[in-house]
Structure 1
Amino acid sequence: MAVDLGVDTMNSEFNGRPEAAEFAESQFLRSMDELIPVFEREGLKLVLEPHPDDFIEDGHAAVDLVRGLNRDWISFLYCTPHTFHQGDDATGIITHAGEKVTYVHLADTLDHTASNGLRYIVNPPGSPARVHQHAEIGRGEVDFDEVFAALAPVGFDGVVSSCVFGWEEQAAEISVRQREKATALIEKYFGAGTLGGG
């Protein structure tokens, strides 16, 4: 279907329960054994991201698995609203990913670990829920300067996309502001004129 639509890149996550990470990873690798020949035959690229409540949530571990797959067409997606679930180490994760980081999702979130982990009250106590938002830049606590300052030295030349959910009534206005904020960060860290006036 992707080929028929002219799509050359697909994004995915490390789906599977974190409580059964070893089993989920073995199933993931089994699936990759089936999918790798198809991706290679069709000339498709795959971008993988750690996601809250997946079998890999940690950014460093996700980069290690991406590198372990040892394919130049498989890369890493850094998702800013997952910053606090993937280790709160944007600089370290992006530096570790290096040329493998080819995609960035931009949205803000609050740090669920702040205030002794009491930023959110989830019932029942001890629930394994992974609470996070995908809010407009500036409505949370992600350090976007840190993210872009880390992307520039690794030679990032990939896709940056807005990934805000939950404010449908302001979607158009938020989209415009997200583009303005992303453009300002790109020009600040990659140089004015980087976007080519587009």
Structure 2
Amino acid sequence: MKFSVFTASTPDWTPEEAAQNLAAQGWDGIEWRVTDQSDAASPGFWAGNRANWPLTGLEDSLDEIARITRDAGLEYSGLGGYARSDDHENVDRMLAATAALGARQVRVTMPRTDSGEYRELFAAARRDVARAASRAAELGVKALIELHHETITPSASAAFRLVDGLDPEHVGVIHDLGNLVIEGQESHRAAFQLLGPYLAHVHVKNVRWVPGEPETDGTVRWHHEWAPMRTGQADVDAYFTALHEVGYDGWVTSEDFSTELPLRERTLGNLAYLREVESRTRGFVRESSS
């Protein structure tokens, strides 16, 4: 496996700082966040992120993206795009940028479930994804669909329905451990087996559910919040064990949105932890199968 960081989770660093710092820590790659974002008084994950490349004028930034990535000695695990599947113009731009950079694969986002009637949203997205896969094939890249809460593909089962029958060389699924704690949780091994060749990429972060204050009638409503990799509710060891069991050996991208630790300490600790878990679970699976 190779390990990278999605720069949505490194908002304090400029692109050059992100690439240099991650390379110095020993990460194999980087997944650049590409979207037009709002300004913010201080850097944040979703607004004012300094490690973000704007979608507007992206083509003019490609040489700089390539230089920064190359000079740091990092590979691309892909591009973290935000163009929605029905935004054909920007999907095409992201696919073309992916091809130009040699980044191989790029995320195409799905409609939110609250944006329409589910069956209609799903049918339209299937047409859009088929179109994106066709365009990706022309460019020699792959469009990725992420398992993400509050979208039409929160689970592996939903994502498989969306991509089934399309060419897995040019469309695939991002399996996301943390998002599934919020919505879409299924047996990991069964999900990986179901996705088969469509399992193209993995995102790892962690989440916890916490109770709110009791209401006047005693009702307690729970909400989720991002948690450090080691302490969230998702079992990272079990996740890697399942990945090894199905023979996954691709990219694992960290996108830790917890804030208990400073950014530099957070990314360094996550790499050590992920490598430790990967090695331990690989050995466990090897021993179990011998």
The verdict on a shared fold, with TM-score over 0.5 as the criterion, is yes
CA RMSD after TM alignment:
2.8
Q: Which residue of structure 2 aligns with residue 71 of structure 1?
A: 168
Q: Which residue of structure 2 aligns with residue 163 of structure 1?
A: 255
Q: Which residue of structure 1 aligns with residue 235 of structure 2?
A: 143
CA distance in 1, matches of 2:169, 2:99: 19
Task: Note closer, same or farther for the CA distance 1:33–1:46 as it changes in structure 2 (3 Å cut).
Answer: closer
Post-superposition offset of 1:179: 0.4
* 8 A contact 1:110–1:140 mirrored in 2: yes
* 8 A contact 1:13–1:50 mirrored in 2: no
CA distance in 2, matches of 1:46, 1:191: 32
- Residues 1-198 of structure 1: matches in 2 within 5 Å? 1-18=97-114, 20-84=117-181, 85-111=183-209, 119-120=211-212, 132-167=224-259, 170-191=262-283
Post-superposition offset of 1:20: 1.9
CA distance in 1, matches of 2:145, 2:283: 28
Letter in 2 for 1:136: P
Unaligned runs of 5+ in 1: 113-118, 124-129, 193-198
Letter in 2 for 1:4: A
CA distance in 2, matches of 1:66, 1:120: 38
Task: Note closer, same or farther for the CA distance 1:176–1:79 as it changes in structure 2 (3 Å cut).
Answer: same
* 8 A contact 1:20–1:55 mirrored in 2: no
Post-superposition offset of 1:59: 2.4
CA distance in 2, matches of 1:166, 1:100: 29
Deviations 1:38-85 (A, max 9, x none): 211100112212211102222222233233434333222111111221
Percent identity (aligned): 19
* 8 A contact 2:154–2:180 mirrored in 1: no
* 8 A contact 2:122–2:162 mirrored in 1: no
CA distance in 2, matches of 1:15, 1:172: 33
Unaligned runs of 5+ in 2: 1-96, 216-221, 285-290
Post-superposition offset of 1:184: 0.8
CA distance in 2, matches of 1:30, 1:120: 41
User: What is the TM-score with the length of structure 2 in the denominator?
Assistant: 0.55
Answer 1 or 2: which has greater strand percent. 2
Q: Which residue of structure 2 aligns with residue 115 of structure 1?
A: none
Task: Note closer, same or farther for the CA distance 1:59–1:184 as it changes in structure 2 (3 Å cut).
Answer: same
